Amino acid sequence: MRKTKIKVFIAIFILFASATLVSAQQKKSELSVSVAGGLSTLDYEAAFGNHKNGAGGNFGIGYTYFISENFGLNTGAEFSLYQAELTKDKFNNVSRSLVDASDGELYDFYSSVKDYKEKQNVAYLNIPLMVQFQSGEKNKLYAQAGVKLGIPVKGKYKSSASEMVNKGFFHDTENWGESQEFMGFGTFSGYSGNEDISLKVVCFFSADLGMKWALSDKLFLYTGAYLDYGLNDIVKDSRNQNFIKFGNTTEGLVPLNNSVLNSSIGYSSNTLTQTLSDRVIPVSIGFKARLALGL
């Protein structure tokens, strides 16, 4: 009986020592830096022209807390860039019932635009909340899934056209105005603009999949593929505003343009308008590397 008790005690001691050793070897948390790149674009359906996706990526810092050997919770901050482009060879637009500031007469502003190009650049600060699963011995297969909250940092669009021809039709006199440059009429060659666009907070579904390589007892390299998919429209402004807008200078009105992301065009044949894009969704897919230090 005594020998049996001794054997049981030794077995319990060995199990306890083994569990303690495994617990000591398993890092409970990690600090990391990451970089990612690939397709990073604004996804939307344009009413006209050719929409092209852009490249971009993100870099960030992170913290992972492991609740077990296989599962952990990850958060941090990432600075992410998204780009897209739209081109259209030619289109016409009408902005109706404007008011002439000099005499109060109503007029319609007609524009003809050639070789239009618009580049959209958006930046977000994304805060992830992810669940990480990992499995393996020294080198591990890992997967992450969760959500990210994106806070807008920058929204810009650069537009250009080889030519913009503007004229106005005055309601009371039923006359056309074509040469009054102080009202924005005339032919403008080599037109260009650089404007801001207002953005909303966005929520992403996010996922990573790849390998976790053990470089040492405390240093790990994650490599794999990632996906960030926006779940809501990021454009803050109403799309009811006309494509053409005006800037005031000492010499009069200067024709400018809103983005295709937040505006509409009017038709000369009727009073209908058409929005130039539907909801705008940021999307990223590509490769990601993360260097982590076990704590």
Q: Which domain holds residue 54?
A: 1-18+29-294
DSSP 61-107: EEEEEESSSSEEEEEEEEEEEEEEEEEEEEEEEEEEEEE-TTT--EE
Those residues whose C-beta lies under 8 Å from the C-beta of residue 178, and which sit 6 or more positions away, are 167, 168, 185, 186
Q: Determine the pLDDT at residue 102.
A: 80
Q: Determine the pLDDT at residue 268.
A: 82
Predicted confidence band of residue 18 (pLDDT cuts 50, 70, 90): very low
Residues 80, 58 contacting (CB under 8 angstroms): yes
In a domain, 23, yes or no: no
In the block, tokens 């996804």 appear at 43
The number of domains in the chain is: 1
Q: State how far the alpha carbon of 39 is from the alpha carbons of 105, 215, 284, 285, in Å.
A: 50, 29, 5, 5
Report DSSP state, residue 294.
E
Q: Determine the pLDDT at residue 27.
A: 64
CATH code of 81's domain: 2.40.160.20
Predicted confidence band of residue 253 (pLDDT cuts 50, 70, 90): confident
DSSP 150-180: EEEEEEEEEEEEEEEEEEEEETTTTEEE-S-
Quick: pLDDT tens for 83-110. Answer: 999 999 999 999 999 998 888 899 999 9
Quick: pLDDT tens for 129-172. Answer: 999 999 998 999 999 999 999 999 999 999 999 999 999 999 98
Task: Give the separation between CA 92 and CA 113, rounded to whole angstroms.
Answer: 6
Q: Is the dihedral of CA 232, 237, 238, 244 positive or negative?
A: negative
Element (H, E) at 220: strand 219-230
pLDDT more than 90, % of the chain? 80
Report DSSP state, residue 260.
T
In a domain, 24, yes or no: no
Parallel, antiparallel, or unpaired: how do β-strands 50-53 and 71-99 relate?
antiparallel
In a domain, 53, yes or no: yes
Residues 145, 207 contacting (CB under 8 angstroms): yes
Q: Determine the pLDDT at residue 13.
A: 42
Q: How far apart are the first and last CA of the chain?
A: 45
